[in-house]
Structures are given as C-alpha cells and as structure tokens.
Structure 1
C-alpha cells in the first residue's frame, strides 16, 4: 500500500504537468473584442488554469475564465469554444428563468395579499409574506407551466455535456499521443 502511495505521489504530478502544457496565456488576453464575461472577475495574468469567478447576480451561476495555452491545437480550441458557448447559453437561460420566476412570484404574492385584503407591509413595517402552503401552490404552478421549457433545457444540456465529454476524451488522447510520439530530429545537410 505504501509503495502504491509513493508511486501515486511521483506519477500523478508528472501526469498533470504533461496535460497542462508549458506556456500559458489567459483567454481574455487573446480574445479580440469579444463580449466580456458576465462578472468583472479577472484572474492573475500568470495563471495557466481556468478560473471560476463569483456567482452572477442574475443567473446565480459562477462564470469561468477559460485559459488559452499558446500551443493550443485546433481540437483543443474547438473544445474550449464549445465549453464557452455552453457556459454563455447556460448563463442566459438561468438569468431569464430566474428573472421570470422572481417577477411571477412577486405578482402571485401581491395578488394573494390583495385577495385577503392585506397590504404589502404589515403594521410593524415588515414585508408581508404568505405561508408555506400558499407558496407551494405558486411553486407547483410555476413548475407545471415551465415543464416543457425545462424538459428542452435538460435535453440540450445533456447533448452539450456529451459533446464536451467526447471532445475532452479526444483532447486527452491527442495530448497523450503528442507526449509519447518520438520527437523528430532536425537533419543538418
């Protein structure tokens, strides 16, 4: 068991370095006038990894700043672009969904309070709320009304993740092949 741990401690970091690449450059440095990330998060310029930023205030998802290595292959570029496109699609869906949810929730609360003859504030000045059973009616109705939209979202989400997983496997095989392939010697004439 100790021998296995020792091998893992030696081999694993080498394997990680083999896949990480030698030179680094951030996606933000090589992107030409592309729209910026949702948040203003900016990782250090010397970073060689993807960085995950703070949650977006509309979608509640954490945006990713993708690292672009200088020696990025066309397959690696395709994978990164697919991941970026998926992130933007996901951010947009959840920002719209959360906005719709909040708006409809407020309308539901206002209509129920009005039906009870209550105002938006209690006598003590606090915001008036509904009990859990009444809110359960809203949640059930909202989910039922948006069932089709969520079903299409889940279908597309799985398709995108399978594509990303497939391209990730291809990139890993490409990197392994690049590392194992014998280097061609320069011939001097």
Structure 2
C-alpha cells in the first residue's frame, strides 16, 4: 500500500507488494471456475496502515479486477457528513471492484474458449510442435473482441450509467463536506475574535 499525499498528486513508496502476480492466463476456461468463486469472496486487501496515518492508502492492483484498492482514512473527529462521503466512496469502490473482477474473469474465460474452438476447427492443438502456446492472428482475435463487446453492450451501458450516478453523488457530497469544513473554520475564527 502507498500513502496518497494531499496536494502532491504523488504516491509514497509502496510498503507492501502483492505476492500474487495474477498469472495463469494460459489455463483453459474450465479451470477458471475456482478463480471466479475466489474473486467473489476474497477481500480486496488485508493491509492495515499505521494508526497515526492521516492519509488514504492505495494498494497494488487487485488480482482479478486490475484496479488499485484504496483504504480510506477515518479521522477521529469525522462528522456524519464526512462519514457518509467515506462510506459512499467505499461502497462505490467495492461495487467497481466486483464488476471488473467478474467482467475480466468472464472475458478471459470466453477468450480461452474462443481460441480453443478456433484451434480445434483448424485441427490444431493448444501447443505448437516446439511446445509453445498456439495463438491466433490479430484478425481472428478481432472477431472475438467485436463479438464480446456486442454481447456485453447493455451491461457496459448500465455500468456507465451507474458509474456516473455514483460519481455525481460523491462529487455532491464532497462539495457539502468542503462547505461544512469552511463553515466550521469560520465559526472557530469568530469565536477566537469575539473572546
């Protein structure tokens, strides 16, 4: 995980690296059933930042979704509005992780099935004579990509619609939190000047 420093836009050096590389892309689709169950039930990260940390922590890419999980900082004096914003961001991250984990596993499974069926139709095996993995050319793979995108068009449109709704809500709450913080600072300033 790495700390995101406010205003700097840069990440501090990662403290923990993912030990799983997410390999196994060459496995047949039928071997991916256990991965799908793991993706649905596995936690995003087990890392816990130090207690004195006052920043959000960004981790290495998730094995299934390829998205970087964020562990959100919970301030000691978090207001109800700030809590709602943080919870909304966490819910959105979990929803996003789940969608892309499932989408990527489906994509890889269908791609393997497509390659296997095309190689079988040509009378070829999964390996060449030299032992390397057999592949298809770019034009044949373009057929798969086009078919996959067409088949999942409605799912992606629904995802995009929900993504924009969630981002609008998060932006709205961020504005409310910023106004709340400004108001609190003004009230503290007035108290100091009046006393």
Among residues 122, 127, 139, which one is paired with 1:121 in the alignment? 127
Give the whole-Å Cα distance in 2 for the aligned partners of 1:95 and 1:124: 34
- Say how many residue pairs are matched: 154
Q: Secondary structure at the match of 2:161?
A: helix
Equivalent residue for 1:98?
Answer: 104
Q: Secondary structure at the match of 1:43?
A: coil
Equivalent residue for 2:155?
Answer: 149
Q: Taking structure 2 as the reference length, what is the TM-score of the superposition?
A: 0.75
Give the whole-Å Cα distance in 2 for the aligned partners of 1:58 and 1:122: 29
Residue 37 (structure 2) pairs with residue 61 (structure 1) = no
Equivalent residue for 1:183?
Answer: 191
Give the whole-Å Cα distance in 1 for the aligned partners of 2:45 and 2:129: 39
Equivalent residue for 2:87?
Answer: 81
1:66–1:87: structure 2 CA closer, same or farther, 3 Å change rule?
A: same
Task: Give the drift of 1:36.
Answer: 8.6
Among residues 62, 70, 79, which one is paired with 2:76 in the alignment? 70
Q: Taking structure 1 as the reference length, what is the TM-score of the superposition?
A: 0.77
Q: RMSD over aligned Cα, in angstroms?
A: 2.1
Q: Secondary structure at the match of 1:57?
A: coil
Task: Give the drift of 1:43.
Answer: 2.4
1:36–1:130: structure 2 CA closer, same or farther, 3 Å change rule?
A: closer
Equivalent residue for 1:160?
Answer: 166
Structure label with greater radius of gyration = 1
Structure 2: any 5+ residue segments left out of the alignment?
1-6, 8-40
Among residues 134, 145, 154, which one is paired with 2:140 in the alignment? 134
Equivalent residue for 1:12?
Answer: none
Task: Give the drift of 1:56.
Answer: 0.3
